[in-house]
Amino acid sequence: MPHLFATSDLHVTHEGNAPLVDEVVPRTPDDWLLVAGDVAERAESVIGVLKTLRERFAKVVWVPGNHELWTTQKDECQLRGQARYEHLVERCREIDVLTPEDPYPVWEHQEKPLTIAPLFVLYDYSWRTPAADGLPMLAAIEQAREAGVLCTDEFFLHPDPYPSRQAWCADRVKISTERLEAIPEDHGTILMSHWPLHRHPTEPLYFPEFALWCGTTETEDWHRRFRAEVAVYGHLHIPRSTEADGVRFEEVSLGYPREWRKRSRGPIPLRRIF
């Protein structure tokens, strides 16, 4: 029986993480791998790791995280926003890695067929603390800054040509909804995204204000609406299994060395989903 594995937030440019890619290996020649974003910040590093993983696994499905979408001075690829995302999609197609722009693959090894839906949705600052409810977006961000947290996306994740990250998110929600609605009704789904689709995984955040950069209320019912058997995500660096409305949520992130070194179980760069 083939296995379906998942990983995210490999952050291979952080010292100590790159060697762990060697542990992301299949158990059988027919195993598939889901990569839920944040492989690296530099485009060439992202494609290099995905190419290595594709050589090992029968199929690899990737969605972008915020780090892949950053445009930094050290990256030879200076494309921004949508153009950067499209560049990564084209590079993935060259190495036979599936993206949110490709036909959804179907996992046929459960009781019913499960369509794997790689989703690129972003966030829209709608996950607020009670103190930030009703405030303008900039005021909510300022409140987070005063609490001691500000996502680096504010400096490096450009929404071009959209006027804002919220507008980009709204368009991605629309695109994703239309594709999800086209999945056959007799299929269950495996929803994979970098940012969690439901807010409950953000509850353990040390800074609850960081939830601003973690998702959107527009996807809160997708696990029910689109018949999910499991929702796979990363971003939070809180790897664990949870449940909402009877649906399993799996955060599959590795995280930074300073994080996994504190855990008694050490680094876990690969999780089995099925």
Report yes or no: 59 and 32 within 8 Å, Cβ to Cβ: yes
Q: Which pLDDT score, from 0 to 100, does residue 9 have?
A: 98
Q: Over pLDDT 70: what percentage of the chain?
A: 100
Q: What is the mean pLDDT of the chain?
A: 97
Instruction: Return the amino acid letter for 138.
Output: L
Please report the pLDDT score of residue 214 as a whole number.
Answer: 98
Q: What is the tens place of the pLDDT at every residue in 71-90?
A: 999 999 999 999 999 999 99
Query: Domains, the chain, ranges and CATH?
Result: 4-272 (3.60.21.10)
**What is the pLDDT, as a whole number, of residue 120?**
98
Would you state the pLDDT for residue 210? 97
Residue 134: burial class (beta carbons within 10 Å; 0-12, 13-18, 19+): exposed
Which whole-number Å values give the CA distances from 187 to 114, 177, 222, 244, in the listed order?
5, 16, 15, 20
For 31-48, give one letter per residue: b (16+ CB within 10 A) or e: bbbbbbbbbbbbbebbbb
pTM metric for this prediction = 0.97
Q: What pLDDT sits at residue 16?
A: 95
Q: Supply the pLDDT for residue 8.
A: 98
pLDDT at residue 185 in the model: 96
Q: What angle do CA 231, 57, 239 make, to 5 degrees?
A: 35
**For residue 49, what pLDDT is reported?**
98
pLDDT of residue 48: 98
Q: What is the DSSP string of 121-177?
A: ----S----GGGTTS-HHHHHHHHHHHT---THHHH---TTSSSHHHHHHHHHHHHH
| Mean pLDDT score, 1-21 | 97
Q: What is the pLDDT of residues 48-76, one digit of tens each?
A: 999 999 999 999 999 999 999 999 999 99
- Express each pLDDT in 236-255 by its tens digit: 999 999 999 999 999 999 99
**DSSP per residue, the chain:** ---EEEEB---TTSTTTGGGGGG---SSTT-EEEE-S-S-SSHHHHHHHHHHHHHHSSEEEE---HHHH---TT-S----HHHHHHHHHHHHHHTT-B-TTSPPPEE-SSSS-EEEEEE-----S----GGGTTS-HHHHHHHHHHHT---THHHH---TTSSSHHHHHHHHHHHHHHHHHTS-TT-EEEEEESS-SSSGGGTT-SSGGGGGGS--GGGTTHHHHTTEEEEEE-SSS--EEEEETTEEEEE-B---HHHHTTSTT-----EE--
Mean pLDDT for the stretch of residues 94-111:
97
